[in-house]
């Protein structure tokens, strides 16, 4: 009986939000749509929490589901919850109800389509983090992205068409390169036989067959770049980042939160789940090149963040800098660095969504995002200010906040790899403090002006959403061990590929 229960978690995490999204299209009343979206996302969160509780008491191998989908080409609907999958599905499950609660009072045209597409995006993200078949992985990779095109192009800002087109070109190019790589590796896999020994397929899309494909060093070298470019665009890493600030600025706030908090983790996840284990020789050859690009992006994005007068663009460049550090730490292939990335993916998602919520609440009331036009909000909305200060401290990795432990471990791994690259990356700590604290000072402190005089304290549901963020910041900052327990086995498996 226990085994029957355990195998339901991976595919329920995918199909419940998928079904909820499809049902959302049938509703017409705005209040019903919003209530249903929030309710269904909370149910998904409970399913995710139940999967983690069950996994902590049972063998991890029980948290897998496999169905022969396209038997004669070696493709199966294969999903599994390992440590990295659990921490990222948990992030996805937490993010959506928080986003829905924080933006509950927002009005949208065709609200049932808007929320339906968001729930389909959640289903696609879950599939990406759970897939153990390359074809299924690619399917969910696209499923997660496609609704975002429509969400931004229909509900975005004035320049949404240009931003969406740029996003489409970047992501479509990356996806096409990855598909070419998937097909090539598929053709290098060995034959698949059934239990009786009969030939089922000449090749397989299974992740284990992909790991075992006999690829020469030369093959790994060019395949590495096909996959890396696709993942680097999604993170994004310098110089593949130029779509991001425009997309974040023009997208509806709820979509920006999903993009920045969860969707960028698809790229980091792809590197660790697929790229590192498949191309260990190429990783060791190109690690310095990727780390240099990542560190360049860290400093470059941090300097640009300092110069921004738009709150959305400031946070967008801040996110690029933080993702750059995670990318650099991954390619050190040091255990402490990878462990830091695992928990930082979760923590970064929590922190960045918190920042976007604050920006959304300011823009919704005042209609502007310009730092130079804002001042004295602390006098009008003290609770919002307290929340923002705590989230801001987490953004600069202050001790006792969630980002401190992850950043410490990532810098440790980077120092073990190359002390000079680590020293350059460390500049970002000072730069992050500059742009974050400068933003807090200018926007929230000082005298109230004509614009901010109309600012009011945030509502109960908005306080609740931000309170969840703040509690998560302190919980994982003071006691991060549960997050390490989730991911330690996954890190060990990755490291063994390089020994």
Structure tokens at 441: 């000072």
Structure tokens at 304: 């640009």
In this prediction, residue 380 carries a pLDDT of: 83
User: How many CB atoms sit inside 10 A of residue 307's CB?
Assistant: 10
In this prediction, residue 117 carries a pLDDT of: 92
pLDDT band at 8 (very low <50, low <70, confident <90, very high): low
Q: Which residues pair with 78 in a beta bridge?
A: 66
Alpha-carbon gap, residue 17 to 123, rounded angstroms: 5
Q: Which residues does 376 contact at the CB level (< 8 Å), separation at least 6?
A: 444, 445, 446, 447, 448, 449, 452
Please report, to the nearest 10 degrees, the dihedral formed by the alpha carbons of residues 319, 428, 129, 252 taken in order.
0
In this prediction, residue 6 carries a pLDDT of: 40
In this prediction, residue 179 carries a pLDDT of: 92
In this prediction, residue 329 carries a pLDDT of: 92
Are 382 and 463 within 8 A, CB to CB? no
pLDDT band at 197 (very low <50, low <70, confident <90, very high): low
pTM higher than 0.75 for the full model?
yes
pLDDT at 246 > cutoff 70: yes
Alpha-carbon gap, residue 131 to 81, rounded angstroms: 9
Torsion over CA: 484, 488, 490, 492 (sign): positive
Better-predicted residue by pLDDT, 242 or 37 = 37
In this prediction, residue 120 carries a pLDDT of: 93
Structure tokens at 235: 């993170």
User: How many CB atoms sit inside 10 A of residue 440's CB?
Assistant: 19
The tens digit of pLDDT for each residue in 387-436 reads: 888 998 898 888 888 888 888 999 999 999 889 999 998 888 889 888 88
CA–chain centroid gap for 213, Å, is 28
Nearest residue to 486 via CA among 49, 10, 137, 136: 49
Alpha-carbon gap, residue 316 to 247, rounded angstroms: 9
User: 64-70 and 199-201: which strand pairing?
Assistant: unpaired
Q: What is the biggest distance separating any 2 CA atoms in the chain, rounded to whole angstroms? A: 79
Alpha-carbon gap, residue 256 to 218, rounded angstroms: 39
Q: Which residues pair with 79 in a beta bridge?
A: 65, 131
> What mean pLDDT is predicted for residues 291-313?
89
Question: Which class for 289: exposed (0-12), middle (13-18), buried (19 or more C-beta within 10 A)?
Answer: exposed
The tens digit of pLDDT for each residue in 443-482 reads: 888 788 888 888 888 888 888 888 888 998 998 888 888 8
Sketch the domain layout of the chain as residue ranges.
Answer: 1-277, 279-499
Alpha-carbon gap, residue 34 to 247, rounded angstroms: 24
Better-predicted residue by pLDDT, 249 or 393 = 393
Alpha-carbon gap, residue 202 to 72, rounded angstroms: 8
pLDDT at 7 > cutoff 50: no
> What mean pLDDT is predicted for residues 79-108?
87
> What mean pLDDT is predicted for residues 237-244?
82
pLDDT at 61 > cutoff 60: no
Query: Mean pLDDT over all residues of the chain?
Result: 84
The tens digit of pLDDT for each residue in 325-357 reads: 999 999 998 888 889 998 999 999 999 999 898
Better-predicted residue by pLDDT, 7 or 400 = 400
Torsion over CA: 178, 180, 184, 189 (sign): positive
pLDDT band at 1 (very low <50, low <70, confident <90, very high): very low
User: How many CB atoms sit inside 10 A of residue 61's CB?
Assistant: 10
> What mean pLDDT is predicted for residues 137-144?
90
Integer CA distances (angstroms), 312 to 222, 248, 259, 295, in order: 36, 7, 13, 22
Q: What percent of the chain has pLDDT over 90?
A: 21
In this prediction, residue 59 carries a pLDDT of: 47
Please report, to the nearest 10 degrees, the dihedral formed by the alpha carbons of residues 303, 406, 49, 142 taken in order.
50
pLDDT band at 122 (very low <50, low <70, confident <90, very high): very high
Q: Which residues does 377 contact at the CB level (< 8 Å), separation at least 6?
A: 362, 384, 385, 443, 444, 448, 452, 455
SS (HEC) of the chain: CHHHHHCHHHHHHHHHHHHHHHHHCCCCCHHHHHHHHHHHHHHHHHHHHHHHHHHHHCCHHHCEEEEEEEHHHCEEEEEECCHHHHHHHHHHHHHHHHHHHHCCCCCCCCHHHHHHHHHHHHHHHHHHHHECEHHHHHHHHHHHHHHHHHHHHHHCCCCHHHHHHHHHHHHHHHHHHHHHHHHHHHHHCCCEECCCCCEEECCCCEHHHHHHCCCCHHHHHHHHHHHHHHHHHHCCCCCCCCHHHHHHHHCCHHHHHHHHHHHCHHHHHHHHHHHHHHCHHHHHHHHHHHHHHHHHHHHHHHHHHHHCCEHHHHHHHHHHHHHHHHHHHHHCCCHHHHHHHHHHHHHHHHHHHHHHHHHHHHHHHHCCCEHHHCCCHHHHCHHHHHHHHHHHHHHCCCCCCHHHHHHHHHHHHHHHHCHHHHHHHHHHHHHHHHHHHHHHHHHHCCCCCCCHHHCCCCCHHHHHHHHHHHHHHHHHHHCCHHHHHHHHHHHHHHHHCCC
In this prediction, residue 5 carries a pLDDT of: 41
Structure tokens at 406: 């992850």
Alpha-carbon gap, residue 490 to 483, rounded angstroms: 12
């Amino acid at each position: 009986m226990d085994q029957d229960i355990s195998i339901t978690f991976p595919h329920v995490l995918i199909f419940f939000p998928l079904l909820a999204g499809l049902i959302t299209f049938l509703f017409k009343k705005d209040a019903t749509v919003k209530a249903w979206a929030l309710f269904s996302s909370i149910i998904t969160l409970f399913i995710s929490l139940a999967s983690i509780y069950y996994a902590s008491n049972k063998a991890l191998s029980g948290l897998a589901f496999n169905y022969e989908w396209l038997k004669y080409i070696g493709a199966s609907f294969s999903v599994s919850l390992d440590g990295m999958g659990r921490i990222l599905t948990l992030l996805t499950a937490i993010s959506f109800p928080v986003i829905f609660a924080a933006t509950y009072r927002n009005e949208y045209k065709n609200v049932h389509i808007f929320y339906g597409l968001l729930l389909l995006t959640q289903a696609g993200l879950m599939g990406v983090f759970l897939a153990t078949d390359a074809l299924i992985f690619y399917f969910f990779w696209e499923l997660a992205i496609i609704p975002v095109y429509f969400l931004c192009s229909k509900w975005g800002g004035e320049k949404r068409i240009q931003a969406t087109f740029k996003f489409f070109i970047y992501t479509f190019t990356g996806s096409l390169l990855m598909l070419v790589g998937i097909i090539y590796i598929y053709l290098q896999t060995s034959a698949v036989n059934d239990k009786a020994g009969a030939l089922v397929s000449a090749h397989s899309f299974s992740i284990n067959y992909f790991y075992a494909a006999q690829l020469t060093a030369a093959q790994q070298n060019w395949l590495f770049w096909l996959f890396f470019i696709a993942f680097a665009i999604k993170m994004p890493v310098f110089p593949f980042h130029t779509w991001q600030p425009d997309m974040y600025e023009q997208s509806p706030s709820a979509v920006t939160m999903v993009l920045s908090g969860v969707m960028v983790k698809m790229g980091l996840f792809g590197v660790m789940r697929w790229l590192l284990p498949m191309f260990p020789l190429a990783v060791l050859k190109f690690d310095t090149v990727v780390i240099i690009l990542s560190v360049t992006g860290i400093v470059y994005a941090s300097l640009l963040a300092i110069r921004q007068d738009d709150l959305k663009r400031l946070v967008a460049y801040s996110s690029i800098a933080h993702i750059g550090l995670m990318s650099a730490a991954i390619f050190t292939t040091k255990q402490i660095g990878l462990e830091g990335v695992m928990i930082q993916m979760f923590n970064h998602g929590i922190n960045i969504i918190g920042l976007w919520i604050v920006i959304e609440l300011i823009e919704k009331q005042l209609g502007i995002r310009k730092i130079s036009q804002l001042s004295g909000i602390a006098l009008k909305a003290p609770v919002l200010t307290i929340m923002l200060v705590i989230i801001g401290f987490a953004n600069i990795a202050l001790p006792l906040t969630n980002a401190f432990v992850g950043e410490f471990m990532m810098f440790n791994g980077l120092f073990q790899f190359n002390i000079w690259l680590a020293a350059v990356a460390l500049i970002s700590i000072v730069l992050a403090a500059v742009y974050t604290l400068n933003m807090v000072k200018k926007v929230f402190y000082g005298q109230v002006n004509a614009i901010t005089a109309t600012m009011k304290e945030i509502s109960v549901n908005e306080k609740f959403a931000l309170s969840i963020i703040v509690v998560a910041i302190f919980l994982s900052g003071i006691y991060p061990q549960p997050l390490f327990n989730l991911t330690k086995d996954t890190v060990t498996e990755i490291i063994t590929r390089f020994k």
